[in-house]
Amino acid sequence: MSRLSPAIACVVGASGGIGRAIAERLAVDPAYARVIAMSRRRPADWRSDDRRGWIGADILDEASLAAAAERIAADRITQAGRLTRIVVATGRLHGPGLVPEKSMRALSLEGLSGLFAVNAAGPALVAKHLLPLTPRAEPSLFAALSARVGSIGDNQLGGWYGYRASKAALNMLIRSLAIEHRRTRPLCVCVALHPGTVDTALSAPFQAGVAPARLFSPAQAAAALLAVMDGLGPTANGGFFAWDGAPIPW
């Protein structure tokens, strides 16, 4: 029998297209004894049992993240296990009153602040509250879903100012978290991942020009991203990778 306690995974943003697919896949992965889905609202059809938990939290409400971390730490099953994988699949591109900017004329403090809050500050606050729950001397992984359009070096088209810039900020936050966290948990890997173009509510208004073969289902994206996560070793810490494992320039 293994001397290691069971492994626990936590997916933040489990109500979203990609987050939900990642949570479902982890829930049937024998490598994990328990998956904790986290979202603002409980998905109507999320079935909780010994293997599948749910905790409510808003990434913009730090008190809710602190409470969620306490619940994970106190949870009987979780306490007996090791939180070895944290996936942050939250994000915002458009919504009521928010359209990706095509021109600098469309920039507003409110729009930019909102995107920076959800796409950059929120995942960093998740890290602040959940990374301390990872084991000190065993491998673990923290992955935040970023986007290729957040690559400064890859930006040839412009536009989408707030989304691009907030994902670039997320990438920098992940890089700094990776460097700091490595000091106390040398086997923990922190990365930013690009899922490809995935058929979800977030991409729905922008799918017209995407070739069908390049538009992944959430299940396809989840499978690809989890395979990348499984293959990342210590040298990947602080990196930015695509759904196929290829590094993306900053």
Ligand X SMILES: NC(=O)c1ccc[n+]([C@@H]2O[C@H](COP(=O)([O-])OP(=O)(O)OC[C@H]3O[C@@H](n4cnc5c(N)ncnc54)[C@H](OP(=O)(O)O)[C@@H]3O)[C@@H](O)[C@H]2O)c1
**Residues in touch with ligand X (CB under 6 A):** 13, 15-19, 39-41, 58-60, 89-92, 118, 122, 145, 147, 194-195, 197-198, 200-203
Structure tokens at 81: 């296990």
Among 57, 92, 235, 217, which residue's Cα sits nearest to residue 167? Answer: 92
Minimal distance, residue 235 CB to ligand X, in Å: 24
Nearer Cβ to ligand X, position 84 or 171? 171
Angle in degrees, CA 56, 91, 62, rounded to 5: 45
Mark 161-174 as b/e (b = at least 16 C-beta within 10 Å): bbbbbbbbbbbebb
Nearer Cβ to ligand X, position 68 or 133? 68
Minimal distance, residue 97 CB to ligand X, in Å: 14
Nearer Cβ to ligand X, position 17 or 239? 17
Minimal distance, residue 167 CB to ligand X, in Å: 7
Minimal distance, residue 207 CB to ligand X, in Å: 8
Residue 54 has a CB neighbour count (10 Å cut-off) of 17
- Check: CB of residue 56 under 8 Å from CB of residue 63: no
Nearer Cβ to ligand X, position 41 or 76? 41
Helix pair angle (122-130, 62-74), 10° resolution: 30
